Structure 1
């Protein structure tokens, strides 16, 4: 069975390349379309056998499962375009968090799922959040999770927790990378260490810390206690962070939620013409 991708931007490309690299899909099983045809054509050149479709209709007409990898405000136009060609036995998978299951189930007659990938899936690691519509059977869910399990760890979450779980698994890499960048910049400025050397050390630190939290039996709290000696250098640094960052992460989550709520309202308006409570 062929798997389709409508949209080959950043995350669409990550999914396609990760599925192929992991062996979950062969290039000959992939059909992809994009608003800019040259992007799909370049993927076909990179992965011989992959079909660069000339239309979204071609993708839907030839694939049992189709990933919609487009921006929230483009969803309604794409859904309207493909609706005449969607059948009840097909599965449409959204990777866009503000597009809710109810939006797609009200507009399409098929099985609906929402999957939130992460840039970490590019190295076949990290979580893949899974939210399933009522039309998905347990076999359907397991089948999709098997494929996603080749590029990360599928984790079922409630749709009402889409935003906060995405903050951690999908936005988290950017937030963590920002922290690492600032740590490196400060080390260069204060101590004069070469930037490349500081970056390499910080990158190895992040990798090792991830292994400790996933394989070493540590929680974030227990790891912090283990390395912070009372009255020591690490404790001095942690005390400063506690003072300076006291409400930063609460405000960070509040900011992402506010943007999410705004986007959901815009999508509601596109699908229903009015704001739905």
Structure 2
């Protein structure tokens, strides 16, 4: 199977690395193009045998599946460049959240899908959110599902729920890391504890918590109840957090959704007039 990547920025290169390191794909079966030649050079040095293409058109012509990993407002230029060269039997996969399946199907003759990946794929973990266009066969779905299964757990979702699910699966690692950083900053400031040792303990705690939630038959609420003995230190601290964070997560969701709607409106304006 020949797979192309248009765009090899942070998430594009992470996906590509994950596919190679998980043995899902071999470098010689990958075709890549990017505006930055330096990024392509880095990829070719990291993965001997990878095929560096001179244009996005070349990537399309040589691939069965094409991942487009560019920012929302770069999509118009990419689609204009490739739309006369892509074939109906090819599968194009967008990893850009605001880009809708109808944007792709209205402007391209090929099969299309959307995947929202996660940085956790770097360690073959986490979930990828998958949405299928109307032209895919059952075989196409199985092919993409099998490919994504090498680097995490693909989960098919309704595209209308993509934003809220990606808040957790894709943005979540950054949000959790932000919380942990603030917590550790306070601990170092107030107690002088060694940051390196604290970071190690915190990382192991997060790893163990994830396993309890995925393998220990515990929900997040049940896990709190197991740790927080009534009248104990943890219970009192949780009460303080509940008070302090009142409204915070509603504001968080409002912020991510407002940005999503803003990007979607811009895409409707640009991709509707190709």
TM-score of the two chains, using structure 2 as the length reference: 0.99
For residues 38-81 of structure 1, give each alpha carbon's deviation from its aligned partner in whole angstroms, at most 9, with x where no partner exists: 21121011111101111101100100100000000000110010
SS in 2 for 1:184: helix
For residues 237-271 of structure 1, give each alpha carbon's deviation from its aligned partner in whole angstroms, at most 9, with x where no partner exists: 10110000011111101110000000000011111
The answer for the alignment partner of 1:2 in structure 2 is 2
The answer for the alignment partner of 1:129 in structure 2 is 129
1-structure distance, mates of 2:50, 2:57: 17
Gaps of 5+ in 1: none
The answer for the alignment partner of 2:264 in structure 1 is 264
The answer for the alignment partner of 1:146 in structure 2 is 146
The answer for the alignment partner of 1:235 in structure 2 is 235
1-structure distance, mates of 2:239, 2:191: 21
Once the two structures are TM-superposed, the CA of residue 198 in structure 1 deviates from its matched residue by 1.0
The answer for the alignment partner of 1:93 in structure 2 is 93
2:94 paired with 1:110: no
The answer for the alignment partner of 1:30 in structure 2 is 30
For residues 189-211 of structure 1, give each alpha carbon's deviation from its aligned partner in whole angstroms, at most 9, with x where no partner exists: 11110111111111111111000
The answer for the alignment partner of 2:42 in structure 1 is 42
1-structure distance, mates of 2:185, 2:138: 49
The answer for the alignment partner of 1:162 in structure 2 is 162
Once the two structures are TM-superposed, the CA of residue 179 in structure 1 deviates from its matched residue by 0.8
Task: Please report the RMSD computed on the Cα atoms of aligned residues, expressed in angstroms.
Answer: 0.9
2-structure distance, mates of 1:40, 1:31: 10
The answer for the alignment partner of 1:221 in structure 2 is 221
Preserved contact between residue 112 and residue 132 of structure 1 (Cα < 8 Å):
yes
For residues 164-196 of structure 1, give each alpha carbon's deviation from its aligned partner in whole angstroms, at most 9, with x where no partner exists: 010010000000000111111111111110111
For residues 106-157 of structure 1, give each alpha carbon's deviation from its aligned partner in whole angstroms, at most 9, with x where no partner exists: 0000000000000000100000100000001111011001000000000000
2-structure distance, mates of 1:272, 1:255: 26
2:62 paired with 1:68: no
SS in 2 for 1:128: strand
The answer for the alignment partner of 1:197 in structure 2 is 197
The farther-off stretch of 64-73 and 42-51 is 42-51
Preserved contact between residue 65 and residue 93 of structure 1 (Cα < 8 Å):
yes
2-structure distance, mates of 1:73, 1:185: 36
Give the ranges of 4+ consecutive aligned residues of structure 1 lying more than 6 Å apart after TM superposition.
Answer: none
1-structure distance, mates of 2:88, 2:113: 13
Once the two structures are TM-superposed, the CA of residue 273 in structure 1 deviates from its matched residue by 4.4
Gaps of 5+ in 2: none
2-structure distance, mates of 1:69, 1:270: 18
Q: Number of residue pairs matched?
A: 274
The answer for the alignment partner of 1:177 in structure 2 is 177
2-structure distance, mates of 1:220, 1:22: 30
Preserved contact between residue 37 and residue 54 of structure 1 (Cα < 8 Å):
no
